[in-house]
């Protein structure tokens, strides 16, 4: 029997993963885990700038040294100890990010797709990382070629659910509510 629903979010930069995770956390009192939080914590401890480039570089270094699924294993271990009935995982970027998560009963992979132009406008508004507000379209496109970004679209084939986030938040939330309703315990 499934004891918890674990929603893994995957999608291109600024597709709505963070917004989705925040909504599920707020409305359903879900626990949430982000791959980038692990990286941000390490960068903070090292007094390094919290930039997309530094996170991508650190991710590559950790994966090369400790195995491609080191971040996945870390989050899966945290989920095992979490007693919450609904858990959301934000930031799956490659197949290796699911080696351990897929073993958790109740894991569902949700791919969020968004038009690249819409994602570009969103990333400039949210200012999550240093330099996002001033980012040019050309820089944004270049970031999509980073190692951490280039395999995301391949994961779409493995998704249990695909949602479109080209409209407003109300539409996104409706789709998320349908997922929770369908798979909740």
Backbone angles phi, psi at 150, to 5 degrees: -70, -15
pLDDT in tens, 9-46: 999 988 999 999 999 999 999 999 999 999 999 999 99
Q: What per-residue confidence (pLDDT) applies to 123? A: 84
Per-residue CA distances from 179 to 53, 158, 167 (Å)? 33, 16, 17
In contact, 3 and 185? CB cutoff 8 Å: yes
State which residues form the domain around 99. Answer: 5-183
Question: Helices H, strands E: what count in the chain?
Answer: 8, 5
pLDDT digit string, tens, across residues 67-118: 999 999 999 999 999 999 999 999 999 899 999 999 999 999 999 999 989 9
Instruction: Measure the CA–CA gap between 55 and 37, rounded to whole angstroms.
Output: 10
pLDDT recorded at residue 80: 94
CA 110, 61, 76, 31 dihedral sign is: negative
List Cβ neighbours of 116 (8 Å cut-off, separation of 6 or more). 12, 141, 144
pLDDT above 60 (res 1): no
Structure tokens of 174?
A: 């409706």
> For residue 137, is pLDDT > 50?
yes
Per-residue tokens: 74: 């870390």
DSSP tag of 94? S
Q: Please say whether the beta carbons of 89 and 6 come within 8 A.
A: yes
For residues 90 and 32, is the Cβ–Cβ distance under 8 A? Answer: yes
pLDDT > 90: what percent of the chain?
Answer: 71
Structural domains of the chain, count: 1
Here the CATH number for the domain that contains residue 87 is 3.40.50.300
pLDDT at 43: 97
Rounded-to-integer distance, Cα 72 and Cα 170, Å? 30
Q: Supply φ then ψ for residue 14, to 5 degrees.
A: 60, 30
CA distance 62 to 162: 29
Q: What is the mean pLDDT of the chain?
A: 91
| pLDDT score, position 149 | 81
- Looking up tokens 């509510």 gives 177
């Amino acid at each position: 029997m499934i004891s918890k629903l674990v929603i893994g979010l995957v999608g291109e930069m600024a597709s709505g993963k963070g917004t989705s995770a925040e909504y599920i956390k707020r409305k359903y009192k879900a626990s949430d885990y982000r791959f980038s939080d692990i990286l941000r914590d390490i960068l903070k401890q090292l007094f390094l700038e919290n930039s997309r480039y530094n996170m991508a570089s650190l991710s590559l270094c950790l994966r090369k040294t400790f195995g491609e699924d080191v971040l996945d294993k870390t989050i899966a271990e945290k989920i095992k100890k979490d007693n919450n009935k609904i858990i959301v995982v934000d930031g799956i970027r490659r197949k290796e990010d699911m080696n351990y998560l897929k073993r958790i009963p109740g894991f569902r992979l949700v791919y969020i797709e968004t038009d690249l132009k819409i994602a570009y406008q969103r990333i400039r508004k949210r200012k999550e990382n240093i330099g996002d507000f001033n980012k040019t379209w050309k820089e944004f496109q270049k970031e999509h070629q980073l190692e951490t970004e280039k395999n995301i679209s391949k994961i779409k084939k493995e998704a249990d659910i695909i949602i479109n986030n080209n409209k407003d938040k109300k539409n996104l939330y409706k789709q998320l509510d349908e997922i929770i309703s369908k798979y909740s315990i």
